[in-house]
Amino acid sequence: MTAAPGLLDTLCQAGASTPDTDAEQHKKALLLAATALASLVSLVWYGLYWLLGVRFSALLPVVFNLLLAVNLLGYLKGGNLVLFRNVQLGFFLVMPFAAQWGMGSFVAASGLCLWGVLAPVGAIMLVGVGQSVAWFAAYLALILISGVVDYALAGHAHAVPAEVSGLFFTLNLTAVSALVFLLLRFASVERERTQQRLEDAHRLLQAEQDRSERLLLNVLPGPIAERLKRGNQTIADGFADVSVMFADIVNFTHVAEGLSPQQVFSMLNRIFSTFDELAQQYGLEKIKTIGDAYMAAGGLDEGNSLAEGLRPDYTAAIADLALAMRDLLHRDFDVNRRHLDVRIGIGTGPVVAGVVGKNKFIYDLWGDTVNTASRITGEGQPGMIQVDEATYQRLRDRFDFTPPLTLSLKGKGDTVIYRLLGRQAARPEDNGSAEPAPQRA
C-alpha cells in the first residue's frame, strides 16, 4: 500500500527542475498527477466493462491509457512541458467524446462525455484563465456535435442493459464531480499557500527593513537618514547656531596599557553606551566617538538652518548632559569600574554638517565652533567642563561658572573660556532644558 503513494510522488516530481518557480512546479505536479489518476480511472472503467460483459466498450480505455503513457514518456525524455500539457488536455477533451460516439448515444455511453469538462477545468489551472476559454468553447462544440451524432446514430446504439447504464451514469457523474472538486480544492489550497508564503516573505522583508532602519538611525540623525533614503547623495548643510560638546576620557591610554583588547572594549562600551542613553534623554545628537573621545551636538534639527534663526534650548540641554556625564563617572562605579575621569569642552556657533563618503559613511561637523570645542577640551583638567564665550552668554543666567580665564589655543590665539560648575537653583521662569537638572557632586 505504501508503494503506490511513493510512486505517485516520484512521478509528480519527475518533471521538476531547480530553476522552476513554485507555481511552475505545482503545475507540473498537478498535470502529472492528473495523468496518473486518469490512467487509473480508465483501467477501473476497463475492468468494470469487462466484468459486466460489455466487452465492446473495454477497448477505448486501453487505447486512452496507451496514448497517455506514450505522451508521458515523450515528456520525461524531451522535457517539452507545453507540448505534453496541450496533448494531455487534448486527450482529456476528445477521448470521452470518441468513446461516447463509439457507443452510439448519450444513454448508451452513460454520459461519458462529462469527462471532457476536465480539459477546460485543467486549462484554467495549467494554462491560464484567458486561454482556458478556447478549451471550454471546444468542449461545448463537441457537446453540440455529440447531439447530432446521438440523433444520427440512435438507431445503431449498442444495447446496454439498463442496470449497467444506470451504474455508469452514477459512476461518471460521481467521478467527474469528485475530480472537479479536487482540482478546484487543489487550486484553492495552493493559492492560500502562495498567499501565506507572500505574507511570510512580506513580514520578513518588513522586519529586515525595520532592522536596516534602526541601523541607519544608529549611524545618522533621523532627518539625514530620510534624505539619504530619498536618494540625496550630497548632504551638506549650514547651521547658524549649534552647541558642540567633546568629552575626553583622562589617561585612558595609560589605563588601557595593562588591559586585554576585550577589557578595553568592555570598559569603553559600558561608558559610551551610558553616554548614549544620556544624550537620548536630553534630546541631543551623538555625532561619533573618536578613540576615547565622545562627540555630541544640539541644534542640528531642520528648524535651525541658517534661514530659520536660533533656538537656544539645546545649549542648556548640552550643559546638562555634560554635568550628567561627569557626575555619573564620579558616582557610578558599576559603569566606571576603573574610576576614570573626563574633561569636557563645549562650543556654540555656526557649523557645517554633512555626510562624508559613499562607503562606511559618517555624519560629521566642521567649522571653527567644532575646533574651539575640541581644543578647550584638550586644555581642561580631570572633571572640568569648559565652555566658550558664546555658550557662557547663553547660559550665565541659569548655570554657575567660574570667572573667565584666557587660554592660548593653537590656531586661535588668546581665547576666553569659562568653567561650568552646575545649574543654579531652579526658577519658575527657567525655560532651559526640559529635563530636571542633575545634582552637583
Domain extent listing, the chain: 3-206, 234-423
Better-predicted residue by pLDDT, 37 or 367 = 367
pLDDT tens, 349-406? 999 988 876 666 777 888 999 999 999 998 889 999 999 999 999 999 999 999 999 9
At residue 338, the pLDDT reads: 84
3 state DSSP class of 1:
coil
Choose among 369, 383, 365, 373: nearest CA to 300.
365
At residue 304, the pLDDT reads: 43
3 state DSSP class of 10:
helix
* 167 confidence band (pLDDT: 50, 70, 90): confident
* 113 confidence band (pLDDT: 50, 70, 90): confident
3-state secondary structure 30-71: HHHHHHHHHHHHHHHHHHHHHHCCCHHHCHHHHHHHHHHHHH
Residue 95, sorted as left (phi over 0), alpha (psi -120 to 50) or beta, turns out to be alpha
Q: Can you tell me the mean pLDDT for 109-132?
A: 81
Q: Kindly state the cell numbers that stand for 376.
A: 578647550
Q: Would the pLDDT of 15 be above 60?
A: no
* 5 confidence band (pLDDT: 50, 70, 90): very low
Cell 564665550 belongs to 389
At residue 307, the pLDDT reads: 36
Q: Would the pLDDT of 204 be above 60?
A: yes
Choose among 299, 288, 298: nearest CA to 247.
288
8 A C-beta contact, residue 180 and residue 151:
no
Q: Is the dihedral of CA 409, 412, 417, 420 positive or negative?
A: negative
Q: Would the pLDDT of 216 be above 50?
A: yes
Residue 54 CA to residue 52 CA, distance in Å, equals: 6
Average pLDDT, the chain: 78
Residue 164 CA to residue 109 CA, distance in Å, equals: 10
Q: Can you tell me the mean pLDDT for 200-210?
A: 86
At residue 236, the pLDDT reads: 67
At residue 91, the pLDDT reads: 81
At residue 73, the pLDDT reads: 82
* 131 confidence band (pLDDT: 50, 70, 90): confident
Q: Would the pLDDT of 43 be above 80?
A: no
- For the domain made up of 234-423, give the CATH fold: Alpha-Beta Plaits (3.30.70)
- pLDDT cut 90: percent of the chain above it: 23
Least confident of 39-53, 88-102, 111-125: 39-53
Better-predicted residue by pLDDT, 430 or 143 = 143
Q: Can you tell me the mean pLDDT for 275-303?
A: 87
Q: Can you tell me the mean pLDDT for 169-188?
A: 80
* 190 confidence band (pLDDT: 50, 70, 90): confident
Q: Can you tell me the mean pLDDT for 152-165?
A: 62
CB-based contacts of 196: which residues, under 8 Å, 6+ apart?
none
8 A C-beta contact, residue 388 and residue 415:
yes
Q: Can you tell me the mean pLDDT for 336-346?
A: 90
